[in-house]
Structure 1
Amino acid sequence: MKPELRMMFDTAESQRRGLLADEIAYLISNAPRGSERRAEILALINGGKASTEEGRAALRTLVEDSGNQSATPESLAPENEGPTLEERQAETRSFAQKLGIAALPSTKAEQGDSFRGLLPSYAEYRALQSSTPADGGFLVPKATAKTYFDKLRADSAFLNGLPASNIIQFDTAELTLPGIASSSTPGYVDENGQIPEGSMTFTGVTLSAKAIKELRYAPNELLADSAVDLRNALAADMLSSAASRIDVDAFGGSGTNPVKGIIGQGVTTTLGAGKLPSFDDLADAITRVRMANGKPSVVFVSPDVEASLMKEKAATAGTYQAGAPTGTPLTTVWGLPILVSANVGTKTAIVCDASRIFFGIRSQAYINASEDFRFDRDQVTYRIVVRVAGTSVAEASSVQVIKGS
């Protein structure tokens, strides 16, 4: 058994616990490939036993037995015929997903075989894409990226309000959304009469990919000594910050910003002095969407508008329009979900036909970790990158903005 593995097991045994996530990852990357013992090790890990004391003890026995086995022709094969680094990383990440690990750089693994961790670098990501399906090359990067994007969408009120089919994944520098600018109206034709030709004008909106990027640093001492899972906490916070940035521009981005928001592409109604959007104003906006043959599907509001709606009372009594204060929070208005976001802008409500709003994703969110970038400071660098292409509203009437004053 490797000294590092022995020390890992000794530490876990002295603390009377199972193996931690990074220890499991290190064990997987060091299990001898193709052996019977490896299959048993992976079965224990896959069954969730590694995190228990009994499972840890069983794994140690398997590792020791594996080390005591005599050399086989397979173990004596040339080094270049063994598993590649990408193969080991792909396999380890697939187990990490089952363990629910979002971000796990492992210094133990780096000491063993220079494996940076479960988060792929961009070069590793590209290399895995060109691997064979059996090695997980096509599955691992896409599954990892999808997990990150699902978390990003959960943190974004704007993305939550769109149908999944309207969030368009593309793989070019620009995304073009074709459409019909105008068309003729058919008329009545007498029997045996000649049918007239109609006309149609096509148009298109081109969106260019823009990247949201950020670096964060964390001291190695803090990562090693923290009582919480700081790596996953960092990843979650970076995803949340990226989602907030998407919301800011998707709602209110101007023509000079990287992403143009839906407020600038919709129809805005400004209320009188000292007024906030009310239930009556929302009803009028819903009607305006329907008058343009739209189907209202979601209402975005700022927190101050939500508070105003919750406190709105009937004209003849002290009854709250949104229900009793002891009831459930305000979540719908006339069957439409209300999504609250501070990124909508104060004193603002937006009634949308979300099926007419499109958002482009050039690349899903991914997070990398490096211990080399700030090596002289003994810090780990984390980087998040997500490339988006902005919003496109099919027709202005599908987005009705109500602004208080």
Structure 2
Amino acid sequence: MADVDYRARAMSVLETRAEIIKRAQAESRELTEDEANEVSALEDHAARMVEQGEREARVNGLDPKTRSLTVPRQAGNVESRSWAGLLPSVPEYRASLQTGVDNLGGVTVPDEVASDWAEYLRKRSVVMSIIPAANVVPFTSGSVALPVLQAPANKSAKVAELGSYADAGFTFGKKDFQAVKIGSKSAWSWELEEDSPLPIRNMIAQALLNDLADQIDNLGLNGVLATNGINGIVTLGTHMTPLTAGSVIGYSDLNDAYAAVEGTGANPTHVLVSTDVAKALRDAEDSAGNRITDPTLTPANSAYGLPRLTAGNLPANTAVVLDASRLHIGNRASASVLFDESGGWDVDEIRVKVRSRVAGLTVIEATSIQVVTVAGS
């Protein structure tokens, strides 16, 4: 019996479904009751096609003698159905079908089949979002050294006519990166995923990724090499004289830090503040006692023309003004989400693992990061 291309059938059904939704969107309207019913029926039909393809693929993987007891007909060539392993499972199809218009309960979700979630992680992490892509150093071993040109021993000076120039005396140093693995895992029952109308695996994967981003931020901000294997921004930076105990960090303090970064020849690009400082800046008043920002408008998210980012992992009463172009971070392995449905012979469960390997941050010169704190905090 000729093989049946269930993948082509399922995709054809889904294309028909997409056309119905696009037609409604083009006309700026919700689906009619008949259209909604038709879309639902098409989704069920596509899911059955995938399920049938999976079932036959599993049977074709059995020993020929065992297969003959399972399917009382010729099952066809196993290689001809090699695409079956690339198809999303029924739950994955169910999750992908959640994308649509609102009256179908549609929400846009990332593709669960994708393995590389680096871009998603970059958007969720304050630290990763401010580092220029060119400063993410890839490496293929457990460690790598970034060459750094040290300040010259001799500065440029006046030279007499026909005189000789003094050698600048440049030397090279290095910034070392050591890979640190960060990750987590979770598992849930196959029955839960089969019975749930929600994209369970996507929900759990995103929760784990959010936690991963939070941990990378925590280490990227506060890490200490000897303890965490990563030096964070606060550790690497230059700490300005702490403000008097009880003081509240304000715009004038950010201005001092801005000037300190400029004074070293760097160009400030970002302001990072702890949650309490973000609140204080929004409540700040001018010398006449008038609130600087209008509370009826969008909360201020800049300071002196720089993006001001609230970093929940910064210690209380802390602000950082920095030139992010002077930061580098090592990347051994991008964030990835791995699913496993094999479970065990006596256990039906689905497992997910989220992991990433990064190396500690390094800054070309510590003065490119100015850290403002309050005494006693």
TM superposition score category, shorter chain reference = 0.7 to 0.9
Task: Trace 1:2-401 onto structure 2 (pairs within 5 A).
Answer: 32=5, 42=11, 45=14, 48=18, 52=39, 79=77, 82=80, 84=82, 88-90=84-86, 102=110, 104=112, 118=113, 144-146=114-116, 148-183=117-152, 184-255=154-225, 256-269=227-240, 270-317=242-289, 319-321=290-292, 323-373=293-343, 376=346, 378-401=348-371
Q: Report the CA distance between 1:329 and its aligned residue.
A: 0.6
Give ranges in structure 2 of 5+ residues lacking alignment.
22-38, 54-73, 100-107
Give the residue type in structure 2 aligned to 1:154.
Answer: K
Give the residue type in structure 1 aligned to 2:229.
Answer: P
Contact in 2 for aligned 1:163/1:354 (Cα 8 Å) = yes
Instruction: Report the 3-state secondary structure (helix = DSSP H, G, I; strand = E; otherwise coil) of the residue aligned with 2:150.
Output: strand
Q: Report the CA distance between 1:207 and its aligned residue.
A: 0.8
Give the residue type in structure 1 aligned to 2:291.
Answer: Y
Give the residue type in structure 2 aligned to 1:293.
Answer: G
Q: Report the CA distance between 1:285 and its aligned residue.
A: 0.2
* Structure 2: distance between partners of 1:277 and 1:345: 13
Q: Percent identity?
A: 28
Per-residue deviation, residues 145-181 of structure 1 (Å, max 9, x unmatched): 44x1111111111111222222223222212211012
* Structure 2: distance between partners of 1:278 and 1:232: 41
* Structure 2: distance between partners of 1:359 and 1:244: 16
TM-score where L is the length of structure 2: 0.74
* Structure 1: distance between partners of 2:224 and 2:157: 41
* Structure 2: distance between partners of 1:62 and 1:224: 16
Equivalent residue, structure 2, for 1:18: none
Q: Report the CA distance between 1:316 and its aligned residue.
A: 1.7
* Structure 1: distance between partners of 2:191 and 2:9: 35
Which shifted more, 180-189 or 299-308? 180-189
Give the residue type in structure 2 aligned to 1:399.
Answer: I
Contact in 1 for aligned 2:115/2:337 (Cα 8 Å) = no
Which shifted more, 228-237 or 238-247? 228-237
Q: Are the structure 2 counterparts of residues 220 and 39 from structure 1 closer, same or farther at C-alpha, using a change threshold of 3 Å?
A: closer
Q: Report the CA distance between 1:289 and its aligned residue.
A: 0.1
* Structure 1: distance between partners of 2:260 and 2:10: 63
Q: Are the structure 2 counterparts of residues 174 and 31 from structure 1 closer, same or farther at C-alpha, using a change threshold of 3 Å?
A: farther
* Structure 1: distance between partners of 2:48 and 2:272: 57
Q: Report the CA distance between 1:223 and its aligned residue.
A: 2.1
Instruction: Report the 3-state secondary structure (helix = DSSP H, G, I; strand = E; otherwise coil) of the residue aligned with 1:212.
Output: strand
Give the residue type in structure 1 aligned to 2:119.
Answer: D
Per-residue deviation, residues 264-311 of structure 1 (Å, max 9, x unmatched): 111112211111311111000000000001100001111111011111
Give the residue type in structure 1 aligned to 2:80.
Answer: G
* Structure 1: distance between partners of 2:167 and 2:47: 80
Q: What is the alpha-carbon root mean square deviation over aligned residues?
A: 3.5
Q: Are the structure 2 counterparts of residues 331 and 249 from structure 1 closer, same or farther at C-alpha, using a change threshold of 3 Å?
A: same
Per-residue deviation, residues 306-331 of structure 1 (Å, max 9, x unmatched): 011111111223x112x111111120
Q: Report the CA distance between 1:40 and its aligned residue.
A: 6.8
* Structure 2: distance between partners of 1:343 and 1:241: 12
Contact in 1 for aligned 2:10/2:47 (Cα 8 Å) = no
